[in-house]
Amino acid sequence: MGAIAIPEMKRYGYDKKYAGGTVAIGGTLGILIPPSTALIIIAVQSEQSITTLFRAALFPGVLIGVLLVLTALFIAWRKPELGPAGPKATWGERFRSLGGAVEIVVIFLFAVVGMFIGWFTPTEAAGVGAAGAVLIAVATRSLTWAAFRRSITETLRISSFVVLLVIGAVVFGRFLTLTRMPFELADSVQALPVAPVVVLLIVIVIYLLGGALMDGLGFLVISIPLFFPLLSALGYDLVWSTIIVTLVTTLGAVTPPIGVNAFIVTGIDPDISIIDTFRGVAPYFVTYAAAITAFIVWPDLILFAA
């Protein structure tokens, strides 16, 4: 997406810090909004329902997405030179430009909504989505044998990665269970003379640092067996905890010194330095912090749909 968006933003005269920061922060939501590979792995590792986590993640993901859009609009309104207005277009031209996206939206809504209301399981929803994509590609005559082989190869590569990651996570979790380390950690923290919310804030800081220093998905896999028993022992709902730590970890992807998303933006366009991207991301931290605070103060914002 960055390879598509950044050149277009530069073509219309957008400030490079604004362009880089907006693309980098937008990339943080992919790990949360269903269908999310991270949530699937967490569900398997912590023995939770994938559908329940998807339901719980949908509203927070959409809400933060809307808040990020509003933040971007506010920044451009305050400083129009950062994102100058493009040429005017009629409503007819705007609707015609959406033609290529309608099929994707239909497939997504049918698969995700069908899964939520019980028409099919998460695995069946993936099959429905894949079948729908193939049918649309055939109907629009955009499917070639080369593209079909490439998509199969890429799917096998990603699926193998996910399966191996799940196997490693399960083995690691079983090992930690045998050592009783998570339970000892939970007992030690429970004995501390501090309120549970203080422990929660410490865990949040750890996940933020972990997401900043290494791949977010990898850190989640490593840390879940350690911290989930602790959060559960303190009385926090595991579904709620999953969404919170996923949000905080993905925010680490744009946090110095090793924000992965920021480096990806720099790799896409060398004219945008890593410092420019981090500066462009900075205003969105306020948005994220406000949203996470609201989810902590009002847990039902996450749990009402679960």
Every domain of the chain and the residues it spans: 24-88+167-303
Looking at the whole model, is its pTM more than 0.85? no
What are the tokens at 109?
Answer: 């809504």
Sign (positive or negative) of CA dihedral 52, 28, 155, 131: positive
127, pLDDT greater than 90: no
13, pLDDT greater than 80: yes
Residues 6+ apart with CB under 8 A from 37: 31, 162, 217
Residues 6+ apart with CB under 8 A from 102: none
The 10s digit of each residue's pLDDT in 208-234 is 887 777 777 777 877 888 788 888 888
C-beta of residue 71 within 8 angstroms of C-beta of residue 284:
yes
> What is the C-alpha separation between 73 and 83, in angstroms, rounded?
9
pLDDT greater at residue 295 or residue 191? 295
The 10s digit of each residue's pLDDT in 69-119 is 999 999 999 988 888 887 787 888 777 777 667 777 888 788 878 877 778
